[in-house]
Structure 1
């Protein structure tokens, strides 16, 4: 799950990324999307801990995000702003307001939520809306806290 965070870091700090940067301290925005209880906040806490080793230990217990959690990760020659957006059904209509200012979308899926509900928010992410400014989108399969997780579905 955290290989994606490492990949984002490697991409953001690569020589090619710095060549396209117009300033010495470019800022990139990444939004974390997914259904409620998919593990977005846990992923966000782990990413913060990965890039800020002197920060307190990541929270083991999290509460549902109402609105958003935002953090800024300082990397060489850039800042990466990470937006953890609530996944409750009533908050999903707000996701589109983040698209215009983001550079990447990370869609987190709880591996125990396999079914029709997983594809429900896809229309909002893949829609015909041309307001998105992102070239990259990634998915992360998370959780593994239930017996039998990681086993192929029948």
Structure 2
């Protein structure tokens, strides 16, 4: 009887789990964005931006949304750490690719990394959200420039869901639309990338 009740409890408390890979070059503001996502979804203040150090390995934030668990995995962006990214591809349901919109000198490098990601077989049919971060340091034309870059790479992004948004991880402006788009799109894409099961 206990086994039956225990099994029923696990069944009814099980959550669909979605994984978002937060990728991009070092210094793009991925960890600051992760802290702002946690604050936006929970109301609990995270680490102040001035105390955030470059990520070596992975930072994880878990967010409960509409009886689903969304895990954001922030992976280190230094060139020598990008090799570990592929070990997370098979369980990914979306890629949040963060670009430092205040550093135009590295835009081509960021686009090159984005194109490499889009050609990875294990990320086929995985939605991509390309984020022009640090818009608080730029005017709106920077977002248009990033959109132009991504549109130029449209052939490489094939028929998957792709969106370009702008935000400031420091101020929080534009963070809620990121969360909303990722959640809605992953659920809509569940027939191609089914959720994992979390107990």
Task: Give the aligned partner of residue 9 of structure 1.
Answer: none
Deviations 1:52-111 (A, max 9, x none): 11x234522211000110111112211001101110011111111111101000000001
Q: Structure 1: give runs of 5+ residues left out of the alignment.
A: 1-22
- Conserved? CA contact 2:22–2:95, under 8 Å: yes
- Cα distance in 2 between the residues matched to 1:131 and 1:72: 23
Counterparts in 2 of 1:39-118, with a 5 A limit?
A: 39-53=29-43, 55-61=44-50, 62-114=52-104, 115-118=107-110
- Conserved? CA contact 1:44–1:84, under 8 Å: yes
Structure-2 change in CA distance of 1:130 and 1:37 (3 Å) = same
Matched, 1:34 2:24: yes
Task: Give the aligned partner of residue 139 of structure 1.
Answer: 130
- Conserved? CA contact 1:102–1:134, under 8 Å: no
Give the greater-gyration-radius structure (CA): 2
Structure-2 change in CA distance of 1:46 and 1:103 (3 Å) = same
What is the TM-score when the length of structure 2 is the normalising length? 0.58
Task: Give the aligned partner of residue 6 of structure 1.
Answer: none
Give the CA RMSD over aligned residues. 2.2
What is the TM-score when the length of structure 1 is the normalising length? 0.73
Q: Structure 2: give runs of 5+ residues left out of the alignment.
A: 1-12, 146-199
* 2:91 match: secondary structure: coil
* 1:95 match: secondary structure: helix
Runs of 4+ in 1 over 4 A off after TM superposition: none
- Cα distance in 2 between the residues matched to 1:80 and 1:133: 20
Task: Find 1:124's aligned residue among 116, 133, 141.
Answer: 116
